[in-house]
Amino acid sequence: MQKRKLGRSGLEVSALGLGCMGLSAAYGKPLSKREAIALIRAAVERGVTFFDTAEVYGPFTNEDVVGAALAPVRDQVVIATKFGFKISETGQQTGVDSRPEHIREVADASLKRLRTDRIELFYQHRVDPHVPIEDVAGAVKELIQQGKVKHFGLSEAGMQTLRRAHAVQPVAALQNEYSLWWRKPEEEVLPTCEELGIGFVPFSPLGRGFLTGKIDENTTFEKEDFRNIVPRFTPEARKTNQTLVDLLRQIAERRNATPAQIALAWLLAQKPWIVPIPGTTKLHRLEENIGAVSIELTSEDLGEIESAASNISIEGARYPEKMERATGL
């Protein structure tokens, strides 16, 4: 597995990480703890060193699984987790909360669940409009000084917020959605990250599974699946958006690869400090995703993708309206 550094932070990780959310939440029935641990350890055996979780996934159960899975190899891996939500006693997400005292509480609780003495990358999960980002960055800076956290990250933050945070405590990585069917980061995010020396971690790099080519207008999702409420996943939108998958499939056939591998290889080709974190619950998909790291797209391939993709209009919003408003973008 190739390695990459997240910007100028010095934090070195595998070129492809593993997004662990789907093991416990969002995409239908979760895996059992035993199955999830087995999948994470399979990723380690195949060279993955970067694992992404959050207290809100489950909630809490995902961190517990990640901690149990990685405990035997703790010094060989990098764990990223997140703070910033209110979670009720019944496990419901009830808003954002990035008050410094809450950040400290979350850090201590996450350390216990992860069975570790440090968190390599601690992200603010979503911007809290009621807490100045300088206070958030200051709280994480204290945790870094205490040795509980190694690096600070932000997720779905706007560029002014990113700059203000970075001025207080250098931001190692920004995590936003980015893929061939959500390219907004190219407008401001990637240039700003390059300017400031901040790594970029795309989540949903396979468009929540759509860019694998395994989903079409007739696919049905389990009732618990988050995609049931996503405008981009209505049957009509899926039918229209199939054009992008057809493009990936054409190039994949020529390169003896899969559409998912081409989508990930395209992301890796954008910048050397980009580290996608595709998630999966299946071993064969994990192996397929890892295979993307060894695919080097030629300038002709990239030019063909760019030319064709620029003429494809993606239908449907990436989130329901209420959720989209909750991002910092």
pLDDT at 329: 47
The pTM is what?
Answer: 0.95
Domain tally, the chain: 1
Tell me the C-alpha to C-alpha distance, in Å, between residue 253 and each of 256, 260, 291, 299.
5, 12, 15, 17
Does residue 93 surpass a pLDDT of 90?
no
Q: Which residues does residue 51 pair with via DSSP β-bridges, in sequence order?
A: 18, 79
pLDDT at 29: 80
Average pLDDT over residues 136-144: 98
pLDDT digits (tens, 9 = 90+) for 14-27: 999 999 999 987 66
Q: What is the CATH number of the domain that holds 18?
A: 3.20.20.100
pLDDT at 325: 62
Q: Give residue 126's domain range.
A: 3-325
- What is the rounded distance in angstroms from the CA atom of residue 5 to the CA atom of residue 11? 5
pLDDT digits (tens, 9 = 90+) for 232-270: 999 999 999 999 999 999 999 999 999 999 999 999 999
Q: Which two tokens stand for residue 93?
A: 């997400």
Band of residue 226 on the pLDDT scale cut at 50, 70, 90 = confident
Strands ordered across the beta sheet of 199-203:
18-19, 50-52, 78-83, 119-124, 149-155, 171-177, 199-203
Band of residue 12 on the pLDDT scale cut at 50, 70, 90 = very high
The overall average pLDDT reported for the chain is: 94
Average pLDDT over residues 196-223: 94
| Buried-exposed string 35-72: b where 16+ CB fall within 10 A, e elsewhere | ebbebbebbbebebbbbbbbbbbbbbbbbbbbbbbbee
Average pLDDT over residues 169-192: 96
First to last CA, the chain: 33
Helix, strand, coil percentages, rounded to 5, for the chain: 45, 15, 40
Share of the chain above pLDDT 90, in %: 88
Q: Which residues are identified as catalytic? A: 57
Q: Which two tokens stand for residue 284?
A: 């064969």
Band of residue 30 on the pLDDT scale cut at 50, 70, 90 = confident
Residue 50: CB partners within 8 Å, gap ≥ 6?
A: 13, 14, 16, 17, 18, 77, 78, 80, 275, 277
For residues 123 and 174, is the Cβ–Cβ distance under 8 A?
no
Q: Which residues does residue 81 pair with via DSSP β-bridges, in sequence order?
A: 122
Q: Are strands 119-124 and 12-14 parallel, antiparallel or unpaired?
A: unpaired
Does residue 321 surpass a pLDDT of 90?
no
Average pLDDT over residues 116-141: 98
pLDDT digits (tens, 9 = 90+) for 267-304: 999 999 999 999 999 999 999 999 999 999 999 999 99
